[in-house]
Chains A and B, each alone.
Chain A
C-alpha cells in the first residue's frame, strides 16, 4: 500500500482517539499534540514501506507515547535518549495496546478532548476554532480563511484559548454518569455550532462550508462510542437532513431559495434515508430531546414530496413539544411560521409581536414580521420591518433576499394603484 491519500485518511480518522489517549497520558495538550505530530511523521515514513498496521490508532498512541516521553526527557535533560530501535519494533506492543484499548477507553478520552474545547469562558467562535484545530487537526491558515481573519490573528486566538483552557485545568477523573451526560450535551452543542458555521455559507466553495462535513464526521464518531444516546442520533439526523438540502438552498445566482420553493429532487436522498432511520431509532428510546424534536420537524419536510403536502399540524405539535422542553423566543418565532400556514398571517402576527423585546436584534424576526405585515397589506409597516432586517443581515444573500421581497411588495402595490 503506497497510497499516501489512504494514510492521510487513516491519520485523520485516528486523530481524536489517539490524541485523546495521549492527552490522558501526558495531561498536557501541547505535549500530547507534539507527540501525535511526531507519531504521524513516523507513520508517513514507515507505513508506505511496511504497510499499514492492523490498528492504526493503537500504533499512533504507542509511538506517540514513546516520542512524547523522549521529548519530555530531552527537555528535562535528566536521562539519555533511548535508541530509535527500541520503538521501531512496535508490532507486539501495539497489539497489546490494541487489546486493552476498546471503545470504552476511547469514550472518555474523546469526550474529554472535545469537552476542553467547550470551555465556558471561551466565546463560541473560539470554541469552534479550538475544536477544529485540536480535534479535527485543521491547519491554522485553513481556519483563519474560514473565519476571514489573518493567520497571525487566528494563531494568537488559538494560543490564547489554549492558555485559558490549560489554566483552568483539564478534568481527568472519570466523570459520573450525570457529568458525562452534561459533557455530552455541551459537546453536542459545540458540534452543532461547527455545523452551522459551515451551513450558513451560501458558497459551498467557501472554506467554512467544509465545517459542516467535519461536524457530521464528529457526530458519527460520538455516536459510534455512545451508540445508545438518542440525542446523538437526533443531532446526527438533524444535520444530515439539513445538509441534504444544501444543493437546493441557493439559486444559480446565489440567491436564497426558501424551503417551500426548493426543487426537492435536488435533496440528497441518501442523507435523508439515513437520517430517517436514525430518527426512528432514537424515538424508540422514548427520551425526547431538543435535537430529536428539531430533527423530527426537519423530517416532516423531508417526507413531503411537494411543499403543499407538508403536514403542518404535525410540525405545530412538534414545535409545541420543543417549546415545552426548551422554551425560547426563537422557537416561538419558528412556530409562528407554522401558525401562518395553519391559521393565516393575523394569528401568526399575534404570536410574533410580543417577541419584539427579546428578538429586536434578530434578522429573522424582522424578516418574518415584514412578510406577515406584507401579507396583511400593511405595506408601510412591512417596509420598516424589512429595512430593519436588511440592517441585521449576516450575508449578502440574506440582504438580497429581503430586498427582493420589498421589490415584490412595491410591484404589487404599484399594480393595485393602477387598478
Chain B
C-alpha cells in the first residue's frame, strides 16, 4: 500500500532556521529515510514552498476565484510530504515516529494511504 506522509509544522519556525540548522535537521531526516530508499520503498519526498508563494483556486458563483494564500488562519501549515510503500499502517506509524524524533520543530505527520491514478513524469 502506498502512503502519503504529510508533514505539518509552524511555517514561521521552520523558515526561521538558519542554513546550519536546516542542514543539521536534513541530515538527521536523510538518515531516517536511507534504509527505506535502499529497500526501494521510498517514493518522492517534497518540501513545499512557503504558503506565501501559494495561490488558491476556489469555486465561485460564476467563475472560479483565484486568491492568494492559503492564509495563515491555520497555525500549522502543510510543509512537505513523503510517498512511501508500506505493508501496514504500523510501519508507516513507526517511520513517522522516527521522523518526528529527529525533527526539532513541533511537527506533526499525517498518514494517508492513497491510490495512484497517474504516476506522472514531470519531476523526473
User: Taking beta carbons and an 8 Å cutoff, which residues of A are in contact with B?
Assistant: 1, 3, 5-6, 9-10, 12-13, 52, 55, 102-103, 213, 217, 220-221, 223-225, 227-228, 233, 236, 273-274, 277-278, 281, 284
Contact = CB atoms under 8 A, between A and B. Distances in A.
Nearest to A228: B68
B104 A52 contact: no
Contacts of A103: 71-73
Contacts of B12: 13, 220-221, 224
B66 A284 contact: yes
A285 B7 CA distance: 31
A227 B72 contact: yes
B68 A6 contact: no
Contacts of B106: 1, 52
Nearest to A233: B52
Contacts of B124: none
A221 B106 CA distance: 19
Given A5-B21, A220-B52, 16 more contacts: A9-B17, A10-B13, A13-B10, A13-B16, A55-B75, A103-B71, A217-B15, A217-B16, A224-B12, A224-B52, A225-B72, A227-B72, A273-B49, A274-B50, A274-B53, A278-B53
A180 to B, nearest CB: 17
B49 A277 contact: yes
Given A227-B68, A228-B68, A220 B50 contact: yes
6 contacts: A6-B105, A220-B15, A220-B50, A224-B11, A224-B52, A224-B72
Contacts of A228: 67-69
A1 B13 CA distance: 15
Nearest to B47: A270
Contacts of B69: 227-228
Interface string B5-30: 00000111101111001000000000
A348 to B, nearest CB: 36
Counting from the closest, the 3 A-B pairs by CB-CB distance are: A277-B53, A13-B12, A223-B52
Nearest to B16: A13
Contacts of B75: 55
Nearest to A282: B68
Contacts of B72: 103, 224-225, 227
A10 B18 CA distance: 13
* Residue of A9, A52, A220, A225 contacting most chain B CB atoms (<10 Å): A9
Contacts of A5: 21, 104
B52 A6 contact: no
Contact of A213 (B18, B50, B105): B18
A278 B53 CA distance: 5
A188 to B, nearest CB: 15
A35 B75 CA distance: 24
B53 A281 contact: yes
A258 B71 CA distance: 39
A281 B67 CA distance: 9
Contacts of A227: 52, 68-69, 71-72
Nearest to A222: B52
Contacts of A223: 52
* Residue of A3, A102, A220, A224 contacting most chain B CB atoms (<10 Å): A224
Nearest to A10: B13
A281 B68 contact: yes
B21 to A, nearest CB: 7
* Residue of B11, B52, B55 contacting most chain A CB atoms (<10 Å): B52
Contacts of A10: 13
A239 to B, nearest CB: 13
A236 B13 contact: no
